């Protein structure tokens, strides 16, 4: 069913669809100044806590995180926690899943007996109880065509035993799981089973689910009140580094797709923004600038505030 919807409406996901209404002088002014919560802010190699704080301050990004270290060469999370305090939203699981994948492939990611996964469970239980982590993410479950490096692509079941264990733990602590997946029918069905079984878990779809049309996302969000979207990597300058066959623009620095804008306005409590900066060759300032000129000013002020930071503040109880 979802595959049929996706095939019929995929073109609506790109900028090639109808354009959203032009912003007003007032929404442009508000969009330039409003605080932002970057809910897809990776820690990358050579990025120091001081440099991250400087980038965030320069761009009026008050909070960031909600995904993990992109590489074991990135500085330790604790250094960023010390430097940024509650401004940095700490999640667990991403570097562990990356290590498991490189050691044993996709099959190992589904194995609850894997030693690295068992260690993750032990540490995460303490972290959630102590409030040192907010949940798990970015858990890359299905990026079978949506990563430029074929060696990093994988797919395993969204209701695999490992993911069931993480969902159950997050459910006990009312945590958050951010998940990267493509909208294959079996991936969606597995995620729906996980959400139905764990209603106290808030789920963020990384990149608003790569390849997904606004119609598909609307259908899922209306069915599952615990489901959220963050909009990273669906706009320049990040998107040129991705495969154009799988990452379609939702907005650029000058325009936005009217179907997506209508969806965001109709479910304004469920969307967030993010940067998805994964390497030093992309400008963080430019990423945030495109959000401020292409997306935010095309939203009514109340919706703009929710998408820019309000929904993240509520979801993660940010200070």
Region 124-132: what's the mean pLDDT? 96
Question: 166 with 93: CB under 8 angstroms?
Answer: yes
Enumerate residues 6+ apart whose C-beta is below 8 A from 102.
none
Half-sphere exposure of 298 (CA within 13 A, CB side): 24
Whether 4 shows a pLDDT value over 80: the answer reads no
Model-level pTM? 0.92
Separation of alpha carbons 257 and 290, rounded Å:
14
Q: Name the band, by pLDDT with cuts 50, 70 and 90, for residue 8.
A: very low
In the chain, pLDDT over 70 holds for what percent of residues? 92
What are the backbone dihedrals phi and psi of residue 37, each rounded to the nearest 5 degrees, phi first? -110, 110
Separation of alpha carbons 17 and 260, rounded Å:
10
The predicted structure's pLDDT at residue 75 = 87
Summarize pLDDT for 73-123 with one digit per residue, the tens. Answer: 888 999 999 999 999 999 999 999 999 999 999 999 999 999 999 999 999
Question: 67 with 93: CB under 8 angstroms?
Answer: no
Separation of alpha carbons 138 and 204, rounded Å:
9
Q: Name the band, by pLDDT with cuts 50, 70 and 90, for residue 151.
A: confident
The predicted structure's pLDDT at residue 135 = 98
Domains of the chain: 2-9+35-316 (3.20.20.140)
Q: What is the DSSP string of 42-55?
A: -B-TT--HHHHHHH
Summarize pLDDT for 36-76 with one digit per residue, the tens. Answer: 999 999 999 889 999 999 999 999 999 999 999 987 788 89
pLDDT, the chain, mean: 91
């Amino acid at each position: 069913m979802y595959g049929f919807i996706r095939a019929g409406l995929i073109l609506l996901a790109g900028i090639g669809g109808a354009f959203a209404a032009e912003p007003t002088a007032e929404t442009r002014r508000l969009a330039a100044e409003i605080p932002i919560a970057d809910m897809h802010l990776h820690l990358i190699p050579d990025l120091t806590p001081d440099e991250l704080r400087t980038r965030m301050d320069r761009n009026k990004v008050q909070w960031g995180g909600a995904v993990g270290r992109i590489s074991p060469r990135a500085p330790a999370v604790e250094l960023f926690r010390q430097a940024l305090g509650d401004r940095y939203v700490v999640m667990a699981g991403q570097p562990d899943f990356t290590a498991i994948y490189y050691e044993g492939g996709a099959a190992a990611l589904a194995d609850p007996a894997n030693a690295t996964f068992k260690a993750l469970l032990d540490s995460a239980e303490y972290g959630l109880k102590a409030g040192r982590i907010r949940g798990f993410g970015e858990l890359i479950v299905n990026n079978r065509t949506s990563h430029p490096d074929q060696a990093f692509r994988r797919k395993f079941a969204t209701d695999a035993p490992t993911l069931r264990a993480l969902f159950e733990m997050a459910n006990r602590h009312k945590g958050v799981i951010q998940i990267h997946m493509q909208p294959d029918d079996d991936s969606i069905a597995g995620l729906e089973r996980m959400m139905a079984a764990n209603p106290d878990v808030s789920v963020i779809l990384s990149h608003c689910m790569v390849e997904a049309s606004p119609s598909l996302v609307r259908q899922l969000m209306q069915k599952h009140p615990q489901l959220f979207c963050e909009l990273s990597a669906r706009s320049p300058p990040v998107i040129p580094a991705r495969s154009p066959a799988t990452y379609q623009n939702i907005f650029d620095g000058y325009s936005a797709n009217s179907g997506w804008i209508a969806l965001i306005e109709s479910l304004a409590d469920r969307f967030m923004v993010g940067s998805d900066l994964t390497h030093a060759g992309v400008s963080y300032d430019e990423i945030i600038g495109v959000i401020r000129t292409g997306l935010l000013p095309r939203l009514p002020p109340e919706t703009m505030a929710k998408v820019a930071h309000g929904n993240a503040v509520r979801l993660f109880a940010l200070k």
